[in-house]
Amino acid sequence: MTQLTTAASRWLRRPLPRPAARVSLVCFPHAGGSAAFYTPWARLLPPDVQLVAVQYPGRQDRLGEPPAETMDELAEAVAKVLRTDGADGHELILFGHSMGASVAWETALRLEAGAGPAPRHVFVSGRPGPRHQRPGQVHLRDDDGLAAELRRLDGTHTELLDDPEIRAVLLPAVRADYRLIETYRPDTTARLRCPLGAFTGDADEEAPVDDVATWRTATAGAFTQRVLPGGHFYLVPQAEGLVAAVLDACGSSPGRSVHPVLP
């Protein structure tokens, strides 16, 4: 495994390095989320798969950097680091949840169009397909309204939203992410070449099963869909089953079950 450059290390995090890895599972967070959201997944992967979590600017150790303003800016930046040295010579599998689903798809389109590693498989989660994505106005709410939306989705610990100091640090990145995704207009004619898999929770009001099924028009490759129990953040309690389904669908580790890997 090579050492990431400074630029790549700002964007890509490996919570549990795997020197023998052949494949990188690159994971894109939801609006307001961070790379740390995917840290528990690292121990669910076999030794030949490396978890690589994307860290968007404007949060945690990148708090001093301005958040991305547009989808083009964000996807171009991630594609650049993966294209240059962030892929580490591995085959790439991309996974994104909610806003991260769109970022993963846009990044994959750029990788396929450029000279560099094209993804072997892309997975999207908790987000309607491009033709069913609609503009929104959550980013225009005041801080209380934005916090109320986070509480409704149940993806942020309530005690963080109750602490004024933490909220003051957290909400600017959340607002910026909502502005980015709510003003994003996908090219509904764009198609990946690689296979695409879609996941959602059976009680996710943000991404109804039928709307998620429309991702089938976002690829010229094979399409699969899987529905798991839960709401918008179904993937937290369903992490083990979801990771297993991702590996099975892309054939990364044939015949192997997913189980925690100790350091």
Number of H helices, E strands in the chain: 8, 7
Task: Please say whether the beta carbons of 198 and 124 come within 8 A.
Answer: yes
Task: Please say whether the beta carbons of 120 and 92 come within 8 A.
Answer: yes
Give the CA distances from residue 245 to residues 29, 116, 129, in Å, rounded to whole numbers and listed in that order.
19, 27, 20
- CA angle centred on 14, ends 219 and 231, rounded to 5°: 55
Query: What local confidence, expressed as pLDDT, does residue 105 receive?
Result: 98
CATH class, range 6-133+190-249: alpha beta
Give the CA distances from residue 62 to residues 35, 58, 67, in Å, rounded to whole numbers and listed in that order.
11, 5, 9
Per-residue model confidence as pLDDT tens digits over 20-42? 999 999 999 999 899 999 999 99
User: Of the residues 9, 24, 34, 98, which is catalytic?
Assistant: 98
Nearest to 94, CA basis, from 52, 56, 131, 44:
52
Per-residue model confidence as pLDDT tens digits over 82-120? 998 767 788 999 999 999 999 999 999 999 998 778 999
Query: What local confidence, expressed as pLDDT, does residue 8 receive?
Result: 85
Query: What local confidence, expressed as pLDDT, does residue 259 receive?
Result: 39
Task: Please say whether the beta carbons of 117 and 92 come within 8 A.
Answer: yes
E-state strands within 89-212: 91-97, 121-125, 196-201
Token pair, residue 82, equals 């993966």
Interhelix angle 164-182/99-113, rounded to 10 degrees, is 50
Is the pLDDT at 157 greater than 70? The verdict is no
Residue 34 appears among annotated catalytic residues: no
